[in-house]
Amino acid sequence: MATKVINIGSANIDEIMSVEHFPLVGETKYTPYFCKKLGGKGANQAVAAARAGGHCFFLGSVGMDANGGIIRKKLSDNGVDISRLLCMEGQETGIAQVWADGEEKNMIICFPGASLGNEAEQLQKLEEIAGNGDIFMITLEYGKAFIASAIKTAREKGCTVIVDPSGDLDILKDKGIAGYIDIVKPNEVETEQLTGIGVTDQESVVEALVVLEHMGFKIPIISLGARGCCARIHGEITFLGTDEIKAVDTTGAGDAFLGYLAAMLSKGETLAAALKTANKAAAISTTKLGAAESVPYINEICR
């Protein structure tokens, strides 16, 4: 029987501009491409989980402004349950300005707005809804005390805890926190920051994975970008590659991966099968501009 996916993270409006090359300091560049899309790591992951067919509840926080209304509608239209989404009077919804160049790179400046500062209310929503067997996802966009309380609450309720290590990585170096985490998915840069090992080849990836296990994480998954990911499956360290795809914008690919991973696990898939599907979702998401709105639907994965 499928269980719930519960997600806490940021929700904002992405203001995206595409340029051939990033401007230098003091330089002005013009672009014919500008758009607004749903963004924020939490919202991206929630949409991915819903598009993957998961029953996803988003416990984030937005303002009672126009951008907040846009986010609520877009989440709902994508099948995300927003019945526990906080809507805060007098607070502005977060905004991220995204620059994407012609070399598959991006630069982002984010004003978190209402996404941060309402942690007590979010924790209360989590306590109300979390149940045995659910999948709980959270990012490191919050303070250490809240993250520790959230993952402890989720584990005590019987949830599988997935952490996206985007934010203050020092939080994960606390073994008391790491011990409550089932799955952590650092990218190459985050892996080096956590372990001190630069992941330059398969040997160094394996070495870093073992260090992460010793840090207390039950299932560390190292994301290797276009090369796929690495994890221990049935006791064996395994590399899972991806199909070769021409990337246009890598923004949100990691969120697509995590949302799909959570949804597949909530539907009873094995870790190996869930990782393969998550890899495909992340790869396809890079072929489109944007974050949440670039996430493929499950029928696209099947094709």
Q: What is the set of active-site residues?
A: 255
Taking residue 199's Cβ as centre, other Cβ atoms within 10 Å add up to 24
**Burial class of residue 291, CB neighbours in 10 A (0-12, 13-18, 19+):** buried
**Burial class of residue 49, CB neighbours in 10 A (0-12, 13-18, 19+):** buried
Whether residue 286 contacts residue 247, with contact meaning beta carbons closer than 8 Å, is answered with yes
